[in-house]
Chain A
Amino acid sequence: MHDSNPFETFCAAVCAQVRFRPDRAAIQAELLDHLQDHVGALKERGLPVLDARAEAVAAMGDPVELGKSLDQLHSPLAGWLLAVLKWTSQLAAAAAIYFLILFLGRDLPDLLDPAYPITSRGVLYYQRGMEETENTVLLQPTATARTEDYTLSIPYAVLNTWEDGQRTLSYLLKVTHWNPWYRDPEIDAWISAQDDLGNVYVDGGSSAESGRLADTCRSWGNPLTDYPFISYYDMQVTGLDPGAAQVILTLQPFGVRECTLTLSLEGGEPS
């Protein structure tokens, strides 16, 4: 009499010997494939299906012996150890990705393009000071200048006229660079200013043409903050000629003129 499902009986007998349960399904699938392939081959030779099934099972040998041999190779200790290792590494990878997303999600925009530091003390100081005097003009700088390594722009500039008629230009200089090793260059020391009337403003120097005092007519500044790809500088030009309508800023690292930025002192809105 034929077994109603000899394949299942055979596979169950093999798998019963395999102590590491998670591997049983794969073993059963592989053995079933083998049995079905064998039956297919026997049917092609003209054997009736039921006989072919019985022969395929018989050709496999003793299921208990086979199961015991497989059990030796699928030992529960190694199997569970490997499974735990796999789960742990998957969990660690998932946690790493989660924290990376969390970290980058919060810091990446700042890293690539931090909002200019409007809250920084220097810029706020000038803005607040000018509001108090009510002689403040918020300029609308648009110029951008490029050197081989840096791109310079002025996101924010204000012109303040003091009670004694002295004019001070304060501006935020943004310097972008794609090489993080170039961060925080000494831009503040490399910039000099000249107005459209020909007056030159340098740090610690004076304009020969106007004969104005060295300590009042200056172009100077300080590094404000720097990010891997962007550095900001808090810059000033003091003692501006009352007739000047434009300031031309020149970047001259080591005396070599690299680029210029033109800033109009008119056309802004009162703050």
Chain B
Amino acid sequence: MKADKNLLSGSTTLLVLSLLAAGDKYGYEMIAELDARSDHTFTLTLKEGTLYPILHGLEKDGAVNSYTREASTGRTRKYYHITRKGLRRLEEQKREWTAFSQKVNAILSALSPAEGEALSGPASS
């Protein structure tokens, strides 16, 4: 399923931080995991290159740090590691996301299809 790009872009930092909270990863490893977990939604919607400005921005903010290590493939990779600051930020963003999605869901469920039609204007009359 291809999602609305605007819906996803706001949550990419949250996704990246939560991936790193599970363990240190390199760029492509994160993309592959996001792809698998989101049923290709992420890669279909957002370009893979967008991951790097997010990672470099998080590193600049001190939410993650990076180091070079040999990956299981035998090649060296730049790994990212979430810091304490990053973990705090992840918790904040998770709370914000939960509160926001609950509000959006509440509005959506409160508006029944009948009300939806009523809102759409005089076409029903």
Taking Cβ atoms with an 8 Å cutoff, the residues of A that contact B are 14, 26-27, 29-31, 33-34, 36-38, 40-41, 59-63, 65-66, 69-70, 72-74
Interchain CB contact under 8 A, B48 and A33: no
Q: In whole angstroms, what is the CA distance A26 to B29 when docked?
A: 18
Which A residues lie within 8 Å of B32 (CB)?
37, 41
Which A residues lie within 8 Å of B77 (CB)?
33
Residue of B nearest to A14 (CB): B49
Q: In whole angstroms, what is the CA distance A179 to B56 when docked?
A: 52
Interchain CB contact under 8 A, B43 and A59: yes
Residue of A nearest to B78 (CB): A30
B37 contacts partner chain A, Cβ-Cβ < 8 Å: no
Q: A30-B78, A33-B26, A34-B28 are in contact. Are A69 and B53 (CB under 8 A)?
A: yes
Interchain CB contact under 8 A, A70 and B56: yes
B57 contacts partner chain A, Cβ-Cβ < 8 Å: yes
7 contacts between A and B (CB under 8 A): A33-B78, A37-B27, A38-B48, A41-B28, A59-B48, A62-B47, A74-B56
Interchain CB contact under 8 A, B28 and A61: no
Determine how close the nearest CB of chain B comes to the CB of A71; give it in whole angstroms.
9
B49 partner, pick from A26, A36, A37, A63, beta carbons under 8 A: A63
Interchain CB contact under 8 A, B52 and A31: yes
Q: A30-B27, A34-B28 are in contact. Are A61 and B78 (CB under 8 A)?
A: no
A30 partner, pick from B29, B43, B52, B75, beta carbons under 8 A: B52
The B interface is mostly helix, strand or loop, or mixed, namely helix
Q: A73-B57, A73-B60 are in contact. Are A29 and B49 (CB under 8 A)?
A: no
Interchain CB contact under 8 A, B50 and A61: yes
Residue of B nearest to A60 (CB): B49
User: B1-38: contact bitstring with A at CB < 8 Å (1 yes, 0 no)?
Assistant: 00000000000000000000000001111011000000
Q: In whole angstroms, what is the CA distance A211 to B57 when docked?
A: 94
Determine how close the nearest CB of chain B comes to the CB of A130; give it in whole angstroms.
72
Interchain CB contact under 8 A, B27 and A66: no
Q: A59-B43, A73-B60 are in contact. Are A34 and B53 (CB under 8 A)?
A: no
Q: In whole angstroms, what is the CA distance A14 to B48 when docked?
A: 14
Residues B24-82 near A (CB distance < 8 A): 26-29, 31-32, 43, 47-50, 52-53, 56-57, 60, 73, 75, 77-78
Residue of A nearest to B53 (CB): A69
Q: Which of B32, B52, B60 has the most CB of A within 10 A?
A: B52
Which B residues lie within 8 Å of A65 (CB)?
49
Determine how close the nearest CB of chain A comes to the CB of B6; give it in whole angstroms.
16
Q: In whole angstroms, what is the CA distance A5 to B43 when docked?
A: 24
Which A residues lie within 8 Å of B56 (CB)?
70, 73-74
